[in-house]
Amino acid sequence: MRNDEWQALSERAYGSWSRGDLDGWLDVFAPDCVFVAAGAFPDVDGEYRGHEEMRRFWRELRAPFDSFAIVAERIEPLAADEAVADVRFTATGKGSGARVELEFFHRVTARDGRVIRLSSHETRAEALADAGA
């Protein structure tokens, strides 16, 4: 994919998540997608496969928060089918009102304009290493 295609895919994915548009978010992912979580949230499994499990991930990750947004601050194409995204996670805890802000790095692999694999990492170096870069 070209840089502008990566940017458009990123805007669709993270924009859908931040708007609470589950169907729009799922549309970004291929039906046989794989998501590997960073392990930063205790109630989140390590891996999700396919749209049904991605729906479960959506519910599990959003459950403890009143508001929730993810913004891609940078997307760096590594190859035609692979990129690393620097993302900022912001949320407000249900009941407590506690503000949470975290930085993650996503290794993204795409095919035919849809994400087939996404892995979340706590550092950019980990995301690049996962991509073999």
Beta-bridge partner residues of 91: 68, 100
- Among residues 4, 9, 10, 6, which one has the least CA distance to residue 71? 10
pTM higher than 0.85 = yes
* pLDDT tens digit sequence for 76-133: 999 989 999 999 999 999 999 999 999 999 999 999 999 999 999 999 999 999 887 6
CATH label of the domain that carries residue 105: 3.10.450.50
* pLDDT tens digit sequence for 27-60: 999 999 999 988 766 677 889 999 999 999 999 8
* Tokens read off for 99: 């503000």
Beta-bridge partner residues of 104: 87
Arithmetic mean of pLDDT over the chain: 92
Q: Which structural domain, as residue segments, surrounds residue 55?
A: 3-130
The number of domains in the chain is 1
